[in-house]
Amino acid sequence: MWSYIVKRLLLMVPTGIGIITVFFVISEMVPGGPLDQVESMIIEQANIGQGGDGADASGQGAQRIKIDPQMRMQIKRKLGLNYNMFERYMRSLVWCGRDSLISSVELDVGKAQKITFRNERYQVYRDADGFHLFKNAATVNGESAAIRFDRTDRHFASVLDDTIRFDPITGAQLDGPSSLEAVETELLARNFREADYGSDGSRITVTETRDELYLKASPWRTLTDWDNWHGMFLLKFPISITQNKKCIELIRDRLPISMRLGIISFFLTYSLCLVMGISKASKNGSTYDSVTSVMVLIGYGTPGFVLAVFLIRMFGPGSDAIAHLIPLRGIQSPPEIYNQLSWLGKLWDNIHHLIGPITCLTIGSFAGLTMLTKNSVLEEFHQLYAVAARARGLSKRRVLYKHVLRNSLIPLVTGFPARFVMMFFAGSLLIEKIFSLDGLGLLSYTALIERDYPLIMSNMFIFTYIGLICKLLSDIGYVIVDPRITFEGSKS
């Protein structure tokens, strides 16, 4: 079995590569990619700021304002698009390479710019000979403070004392003993093939040559610096277009909510369907079976979001509610209330907020799985091995639990992966929206609506591997419930 598990884990790698490749091709080849999305948002906001409605008399209002080349390059650097196509693709998978601080496109000669790179703050000045990089701090008379660039006389000045000036090339203090801390850099000229738009609006490919500024580092230091490694397989995800945060941070913030809803409802659904499905099969045709079948069919035919609205209307905080049992929103009370509760109070507060969403997520899946369990048990009862066991004098209860039950679980195990992933995404989308729960389902839906390609790809990558792992657990479950199934080859 262990060799089979290792093989399945290794086969997950090509699947992830395929997902990233498809989304990379879509975002690169189809108009409306990440860069186009950001530029459209900036143009739209600029048009609104000018009092326009996004369209002029000729219907070309979206083209009234053009993105400045420097701003365009800064946007590309923020989104990780300031590389050639092959390197961008490899950076989505696994890649080791230095990141540049700034390029010649972003800074004109005779000007300086403040840069934050890997939590370090710098000031960079460009002259005719190249770039000069300094730490954004100056120590004067034992006191350290940030510096700024004076565009009038083109010198760096301390923000504490404007009379303390520094040469932007050497970093030495004018009329003083102090100096700025210079940083060793390396300037490389590189060629890039970029996607752009022609005068007629058609998408074209242009070649651009620009100088890129890097921190100087040896090949070994570059290889051993974890910040130089990139790729989703290293759990280093891109930045969301619409929320301007790393996708992994957005997923990590919302994962606990979806995990609570998904895992609790998943195990509750399977536990209840096993109990009721087995009891209905053992009492097939009785009054209990008929009554519970009607209840199950009603639950199966009631959409989760309809039930959610009903529960809030009848048991929510409104004045017309029968009883105030279900909160209107959130996974727990506000911090100022929640933090004052005892541990028992916090436990009940969490249960109180989960009653509504869990009920809505459980009902539909529970109803379908209950009927599946019942029919599977009844079918196994009519198999020859079960009939033979009854003929040997074994009780119906003993035949059920010793022989029939394990074989009846195989259809349930088959649907394990799909239902588990559905609880995280499709099954919880409307429920999260109605109960104002900021989980993965709502995050993925928002990303699709807003065409946030990096966030879509990140969510798809995470959900795919959740599904693949669940599929592997499902295959292992086959062996547990049916010893006849083996992953090992036949031995002669």
**Position 461 in a domain:** yes
Q: What is the pLDDT of residue 144?
A: 84
- Verify that 314 and 211 share a domain, yes or no: no
- Verify that 169 and 306 share a domain, yes or no: no
- How many domains does the chain contain in total? 2
- Verify that 159 and 201 share a domain, yes or no: yes
Q: What is the pLDDT of residue 192?
A: 81
CA distances in angstroms from 32 to 28, 37, 42, 62, 203, listed in the order given: 9, 6, 14, 14, 11
Distance CA 298, CA 278 (A): 19
pLDDT in tens, 139-166: 777 778 899 998 888 899 988 888 889 9
Region of 342 please: left (phi>0), alpha (psi -120 to 50) or beta. Answer: beta
**Position 90 in a domain:** no
Distance CA 472, CA 140 (A): 63
- Verify that 211 and 354 share a domain, yes or no: no
Instruction: Select from 198, 216, 234 the last residue of a domain.
Output: 216
- Verify that 207 and 285 share a domain, yes or no: no
- Verify that 331 and 469 share a domain, yes or no: yes
Question: Which tokens go with 312?
Answer: 């809030």
- Within 8 A by CB and 6+ apart from 462, the residues are 251
- Verify that 305 and 446 share a domain, yes or no: yes
**Position 44 in a domain:** no
pTM of the predicted model over 0.85: no
**Position 12 in a domain:** no
Q: What is the pLDDT of residue 55?
A: 44
Region of 118 please: left (phi>0), alpha (psi -120 to 50) or beta. Answer: left
CATH number of the domain at 138, please: 2.102.10.10
Domain with 269, as residue range(s), is 247-481
Distance CA 250, CA 446 (A): 12
Distance CA 196, CA 476 (A): 50
Distance CA 52, CA 44 (A): 9
Instruction: Select from 193, 216, 239 the last residue of a domain.
Output: 216
Distance CA 127, CA 145 (A): 25
Q: What is the pLDDT of residue 282?
A: 82
- Within 8 A by CB and 6+ apart from 409, the residues are 376, 477, 481
- Verify that 314 and 205 share a domain, yes or no: no
**Position 64 in a domain:** no
Q: What is the pLDDT of residue 390?
A: 81
Beta bridge partners of 209: 191
Instruction: Select from 165, 194, 216 the last residue of a domain.
Output: 216
Q: Mutual orientation of helices 343-381 and 287-301 as an angle, nearest 10°?
A: 120
Q: What is the pLDDT of residue 339?
A: 81
Exposed/middle/buried for residue 66 (C-beta within 10 Å: 0-12, 13-18, 19+): exposed
Per-residue pLDDT in tens (0 to 9) along the chain, 492 residues: 778 788 888 888 898 898 888 888 877 777 666 777 777 777 777 666 666 554 443 344 444 456 777 888 888 888 788 888 888 889 989 999 899 999 988 898 999 999 999 889 999 999 988 899 999 988 777 778 899 998 888 899 988 888 889 999 999 988 888 889 999 999 988 888 776 666 665 667 778 888 899 999 899 999 999 999 999 999 888 888 888 888 888 888 888 888 888 788 878 888 888 888 888 888 888 888 888 888 888 877 777 778 888 888 887 776 777 777 777 677 777 777 888 888 888 888 888 888 888 888 887 677 778 888 888 888 888 888 888 888 888 887 888 877 787 777 777 777 666 666 666 655 567 777 788 788 887 888 888 888 888 888 888 888 888 878 877 877 777 777 666 666 665 444
- Verify that 389 and 299 share a domain, yes or no: yes
**Position 79 in a domain:** no
CATH number of the domain at 447, please: 1.10.3720.10
- Verify that 294 and 443 share a domain, yes or no: yes
**Position 369 in a domain:** yes
- Verify that 203 and 287 share a domain, yes or no: no
- Verify that 306 and 384 share a domain, yes or no: yes
**Position 18 in a domain:** no
